[in-house]
Amino acid sequence: MPEQKRLSLAGIGCGSRTRTYMKLAMEQKNRYRIAAAADPVKQRTEAVRDFAPEEERDSVRLFKDAASLLAEPRLADVAIIGTQDDYHYAPCRKAMELGYHVLLEKPIAKTLKEALELRDTARLLKRRVAVCHVLRYTQFYRTLKKIIDSGEIGEVITFNANEGVGAWHFAHSFVRGHWGNSKTSTPMIVAKCCHDMDILYWLMGRRKCLSVASFGELTFFTKKTLSSPRPERCTEWTTPVGEDPWDARKYATDDECKRWLGMVYD
Ligand SMILES: NC(=O)c1ccc[n+]([C@@H]2O[C@H](COP(=O)([O-])OP(=O)(O)OC[C@H]3O[C@@H](n4cnc5c(N)ncnc54)[C@H](O)[C@@H]3O)[C@@H](O)[C@H]2O)c1
């Protein structure tokens, strides 16, 4: 049998997501090869390079940021774009212009206009842009899809889906973390609910959406709710762990949280 052509990969923004995808790709070294990586944090590009088999590491090109990688002619078949929400559109567009197909982290872009522009560019240039709506690939949702498509439960009229964002995930990501400010990142309806909208659309197989609403408030996370002097950072308490609900040290013993933090921190 002829040897399968390996797809070469360039990682743009080598944080938690890109490293996860690169690591997974290297579980199938006969199908994928790491060609390049870009990130302002050098250790992250080096970590991507080190996923490659030893004999191929020297050929992995490392760049200090997306712009310098994308200033080169195309270095790989596929660009994996795993930068933060506010920096998806520009590298994705440029990568397509250079001839890359793209594995693009969600959300596609910050605005509908930009998302549609990326769609049109992909069509025009005949590039494939796969958006990382990863739920579609889980056993659970694939099974649901199979059941719905088989007609076994008849026509679907209503669908209720709740996503429980863990308390520590909420505080870490959506209060003080990357998505703590919708102006510099994206609001919840885009950052998190894009997965829900995608999965509902995919499961139901209907394109039409009549309206979408999103609401919420900080409630506990304001200066008004501070009843006693608090340390500057939620890891700097001097009181016994667990006495205050905002003491982040308590999560150091939570197994689920530890697993998750291990993924999002270097
Ligand atoms: N599909 C999913 O289920 C899922 C889950 C979590 C996050 N995400 C999305 O994935 C994206 C990345 O999330 P993450 O948790 O990996 O974030 P992260 O902060 O760990 O990674 C982003 C990386 O981009 C780098 N970066 C910043 N500026 C850059 C530049 N100019 N050029 C190149 N790299 C640059 C940062 O140094 C960082 O390493 C986000 O858009 C997020 O919404 C998707």
Q: Are residues 111 and 140 in the same domain?
A: no
Q: Which atom of ligand 1 is nearest to the CA of 63?
A: 33
The number of domains in the chain is 3
In a domain, 1, yes or no: no
Residue 32 β-bridge partners = 7
Tell me how far the alpha carbon of residue 255 lies from the centroid of ligand 1, in angstroms.
24
Q: Are residues 113 and 75 in the same domain?
A: yes
Domain that holds residue 254: 226-266
Using CB atoms within 10 Å of the CB of residue 158, give its burial: 0 to 12 exposed, 13 to 18 middle, 19+ buried.
exposed
Tell me how far the alpha carbon of residue 16 lies from the centroid of ligand 1, in angstroms.
7
Tell me how far the alpha carbon of residue 155 lies from the centroid of ligand 1, in angstroms.
39
Atom 15, ligand 1: residue with shortest CA distance: 16
Question: What is the reported pLDDT for 248?
Answer: 79
Q: Are residues 144 and 234 in the same domain?
A: no
pLDDT tens, residue by residue, 190-217: 999 999 999 999 999 887 888 888 888 8
Query: How would DSSP label each residue in the chain?
Result: -PPPPPEEEEEES-SHHHHHHHHHHGGGTTTEEEEEEE-SSHHHHHHHHHHS-GGGGGG-EEESSHHHHHTSSP-SSEEEE-S-GGGSHHHHHHHHHHT-EEEEPSSS-SSHHHHHHHHHHHHHHT--EEE--GGGGSHHHHHHHHHHHHTTT-------------HHHIIIIIISSTTS-TTTS--HHHHTHHHHHHHHHHHHT-------------TTSSGGG--S---SSTT---SPTTSSTT-GGGGGG-HHHHHHHHHH--
Structure tokens at 138: 């889980």
Residue 154 β-bridge partners = none
Question: What is the reported pLDDT for 222?
Answer: 79
Q: Are residues 58 and 26 in the same domain?
A: yes
**Mean pLDDT, 10 residues at a time, the chain of 266 residues:** 81 96 97 98 97 98 98 98 97 98 97 97 98 96 96 92 83 84 89 92 87 83 74 81 76 78 73
Question: What is the reported pLDDT for 227?
Answer: 64
Tell me how far the alpha carbon of residue 86 lies from the centroid of ligand 1, in angstroms.
10
**Ligand 1 environment, Cβ below 6 A:** 12-17, 38-41, 44, 65-66, 82-85, 105-106, 132, 134, 178, 191, 264
In a domain, 2, yes or no: no
Q: Are residues 148 and 212 in the same domain?
A: yes
32-38 and 129-131: which strand pairing? unpaired
Atom 6, ligand 1: residue with shortest CA distance: 17
Q: Which residues contact 124 (CB under 8 A, 6 or more apart)?
A: none
Question: What is the reported pLDDT for 169?
Answer: 83
Question: What is the reported pLDDT for 249?
Answer: 81
Q: What is the CATH number of the domain that holds 120?
A: 3.40.50.720
Mutate to test the pocket of ligand 1, among 83, 186, 199, 266 (most ligand atoms within 8 A of CB): 83
Tell me how far the alpha carbon of residue 106 lies from the centroid of ligand 1, in angstroms.
10
Tell me how far the alpha carbon of residue 103 lies from the centroid of ligand 1, in angstroms.
13
In a domain, 92, yes or no: yes
Residue 80 β-bridge partners = 11, 103
